[in-house]
Amino acid sequence: MRSLREQLCEYGRRAVELGLVIGTSGNLSVREGELVAVTPSGVALDRLTPETCPVVDVEGHLVEGELQPSSETPMHLAVYQATDARAIVHTHSVFGTVVATTMTELPPVHYNALLLGGTVKVAPYATYGTPELAANVRAAMEGKRAALMANHGGVTIGATLEEAFEATRLLEWLCEVYVRGLGVGKPTVLTDEQLAAVVERSFNPPEFPRRP
C-alpha cells in the first residue's frame, strides 16, 4: 500500500494547488484488493505524508495508521461496493458546489460530459459522513463516473487515482462552463442524438490518408 499512500499525498497536494479544496475539506482514496488507503480526518491535503494515511478494509475496519480515516470514508466504501472504481476523489470545488446548491443535475452542455457518463446527478442532501449520504451518492453514481452532493461538493471515480483526479478536474470545468453560461444566456443542452453521434465518432475516428 506504500505507493498508493504516496499517490494520496501527491494528488492531495495537486488538489490544493489547483484550488479544488481548502483547509481540511475534501478526501481521496485508492483501493487495492480488499484494502483502501484513504486520506486522514483533520489534515489538510497538502500536509499529508504516506504514514499519516490510514488503511481500512472494504468493511470499514481500520487496518493501519495512527489517525482516523476521513469522515467521508463510509461514502467511499459504498461507492467501491457498487462500482468498479479503484480510486475516488471528493472535493468542495467552487463551481461543482454552486451547481450542487442550486440544481438537481448538471446537463450535458459539452460532449466531454460523456467522459463522466453524460448528465451528472445531484445526490439529495444528507449530513456528511452518514450512511444516508453514502446511499444517496451511491444511487446518483449508478452508471456514471461522477456525482454531485447537494449543498456539499462533488465526487468522481476512476480505475486509478490519476483518472479519478482528472475526472474531478473535468467535472469542475463542466460546472464552470455551465454556471458561466447561465450568466451569459441560456446554455444549449446537447440532445441524446448529438451525444450518440459523439460516441459513434469516438469508436470510428477518421483516418487520414498518407500523402503518396
Tell me the catalytic residues: 72
Q: How far apart are CA 120 and CA 102, in angstroms?
A: 14
* Closest residue by Cα to residue 39 from 86, 6, 84: 6
Q: How far apart are CA 25 and CA 150, in angstroms?
A: 16
* Closest residue by Cα to residue 3 from 38, 50, 39, 43: 50
Phi, psi of 140 (to 5 degrees): -70, -25
Q: How far apart are CA 168 and CA 183, in angstroms?
A: 23
Tell me which DSSP letter residue 165 carries. Answer: H
The three cell numbers of residue 25 are 475539506
Contact 24, 42 (CB under 8 A): yes
For cell 498518407, name the residue: 210
Bridge-based pairing state of the strands 153-158 and 146-149: antiparallel
